[in-house]
């Protein structure tokens, strides 16, 4: 069943109201619904004008969620936002949502969960911890600094 532009707009309003969406997700949804070109651009423009679609708001929300809930580091969040086609300016504003002291604290807590008590720590444990934090998107310099502080304790 083909939708009219008005029906698609109403459907996409609900889609965007349910949770924050990036422009790419909405464009893909429009294409799946059979809208392309000027018609799709018009619907997209209306969603932006009416406040249902806001890339900066999406980037900020995405960053907060991935950091606080999934414990992702800045590098992984940045890569995910780039993959979603978020503009560099919005990406920067999104990453500004992460408090530096909270970021350091989160990385430190994750490291403490990964490394057993100092008496049992060996280089293999430290390598695994480094890889694990690196996979979560934390910066290698930060991880090395935290591992150095762990061995000094």
Cβ partners under 8 Å of residue 50, min gap 6: 13
104 and 148 inside one domain: yes
What is the number of structural domains in the chain? 3
Helix (H, G, I), strand (E, B) or coil at 152: helix
Range of the domain at 34: 5-49
**135 lies in the same domain as 105:** yes
Residue 31 shares a structural domain with residue 70: no
Distance, in Å, from the CA atom of 76 to the CA atom of 84, rounded to the nearest integer, reads 12
Last residue of a domain, which of 15, 32, 49?
49
pLDDT digits (tens, 9 = 90+) for 46-99: 999 999 999 999 999 999 999 999 999 999 999 999 999 999 999 999 999 999
What would the pLDDT profile of 22-48 be if each residue is shown by its tens digit? 999 999 999 998 888 899 999 999 999
Do residues 105 and 67 share a domain? no
pTM above 0.75, yes or no: yes
Within this chain, do residues 114 and 128 fall inside the same structural domain, yes or no? Answer: yes
> Are 80 and 59 within one domain?
yes
User: Does 140 lie in the same domain as 111?
Assistant: yes
| Helices and strands in the chain, H and E counts | 9, 0
């Amino acid at each position: 069943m083909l939708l009219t532009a008005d029906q698609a707009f109403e459907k996409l309003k609900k889609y965007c109201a349910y949770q924050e969406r990036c422009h790419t997700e909405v464009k893909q949804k429009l294409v799946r619904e059979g809208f392309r070109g000027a018609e799709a651009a018009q619907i997209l423009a209306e969603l932006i004008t009416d406040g249902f679609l806001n890339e900066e708001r999406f980037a900020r929300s995405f960053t907060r969620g991935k950091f606080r809930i999934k414990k992702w580091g800045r590098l992984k969040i940045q890569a995910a936002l780039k993959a979603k086609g978020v503009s560099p300016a919005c990406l920067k504003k999104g990453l500004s949502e992460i408090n530096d002291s909270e970021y350091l604290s989160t990385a430190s807590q994750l490291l403490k969960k990964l490394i057993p008590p100092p008496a049992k720590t060996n280089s293999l444990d430290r390598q695994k911890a480094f890889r694990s934090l690196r996979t979560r998107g934390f910066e290698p310099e930060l991880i090395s600094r935290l591992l150095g502080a762990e061995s000094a304790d």
